Amino acid sequence: MTRSGFVGLAGRPNVGKSTLVNQIVGSRVAIVSMRPQTPRRAIRGIHTDEEAGRQLVLVDLPGVQRPRDVLTARMQKRVERELADSDLALVVINGEEGVGPGDRFIARALIGAGSKLPTICAVNKVDQLGPNELVPVLAQAAELEGVDEVFPISARNGEGVAALVERMAELMPEGHYLYPPEDNSDQSSELLLAELIREQVLNRTRDEIPHSVEVKVKEVDEREDGLITVKAEVWAETESQKRILIGKRGAKVGEIGTGARRSLEAELGAKVHLDLKVRVRSHWRRDEDLLDRLGIE
């Protein structure tokens, strides 16, 4: 008998959902940044344990938010659709911040009319808390409307994650695997490479830049000697943003490129030549056709 199903990860921005997905999957399928709203698409990480006969498809959703433009409106609609199609909801809370109004709103939003999606809660970042700080947060999480169980975890170091995975697997319906056991994600290689580059932009730029930037991988080519050439574009919305991204004498884009190349080499297991260009795409976040082509549904 095998069990498999979808787990929708819901939570406020920057609570550690992407880190948790990567920890459970065992490889990087979602980028991680201190910037809120890092994920723009519903990234599926796949955890398969053939010995135990279970497969969890973890859907790392954008943080629940109030839409402010076409991009964020699409992100919020994707959250709602993915949760509606999930077999289990996992609410992730930042234990350092405690339970707030946003967490309560998310928990209430998961309760459907007439039926309730099974919901458990992971209180993350417990490695940063002492016992006197942790116990009150766990008690607050247990009182969230609709939450059935609470698990203290550290997505960063793996503390408590095994118990969480075991319980999620028990709650999955019986059925065949949804993806081949060797897969760890459903996203294309080009999208993952683009996200790894965007991760470097997020971590190396000022507050006004990250949400205005998108990365598009144009070409990936492997030479006979094993060197992989990746051609990519970083899009900004204004000329002033482009100047910041390039930096004085190209210093900033060089810094981004160096960090991105290392990430790409770690992912591809080969030497990489990264051809990175910065260009302006005005108002790309409001361009419905462009968002379609980028796969931001």
| Residue 159 and residue 196 in one domain | no
In a domain, 176, yes or no: no
Residue 67 confidence (pLDDT): 54
**CA angle, residues 213, 284, 64, in degrees to nearest 5:** 70
Q: What CATH code is carried by the domain that includes residue 36?
A: 3.40.50.300
Domain identity same for 211 and 251: yes
Asked if 162 and 271 sit in the same domain, the reply is no
Q: Is 223 left (phi over 0), alpha (psi -120 to 50) or beta?
A: beta
- Number of domain units in the chain: 2
Q: Rank 51-60, 70-79, 187-196 by mean pLDDT and report only the highest.
A: 51-60
281 and 254 in a common domain: yes
CA atoms within 13 A of residue 95's CA, in its CB half-sphere: 27
pLDDT higher than 90, residue 293:
no
What's the mean pLDDT in 86-104?
92
- In this prediction, residue 38 carries a pLDDT of 46
| Same domain membership, residue 158 and residue 53 | yes
The reported pTM is 0.71
- Could you tell me what percent of the chain has a pLDDT over 70? 80
pLDDT tens per residue, range 218-251: 999 999 899 999 999 988 888 888 898 899 999 9
- 238 shares its domain with 129: no
Do the domain assignments include residue 248? yes
Q: Which of 62-76, 125-139, 192-206, 233-247 has the highest mean pLDDT?
A: 125-139
Q: Are residues 131 and 232 in the same domain?
A: no
Q: Domain of 218: which CATH number?
A: 3.30.300.20
pLDDT bucket at 113, cuts 50 / 70 / 90:
very low
Domain span holding position 158:
3-170
203 and 147 fall within a common domain: no
pLDDT tens digits, 166-216 = 999 999 999 999 999 999 887 778 888 988 898 888 888 766 565 677 888
Tell me the residue ranges of DSSP E strands in the chain: 3-10, 43-49, 54-60, 88-94, 119-124, 149-152, 214-222, 228-236, 272-280
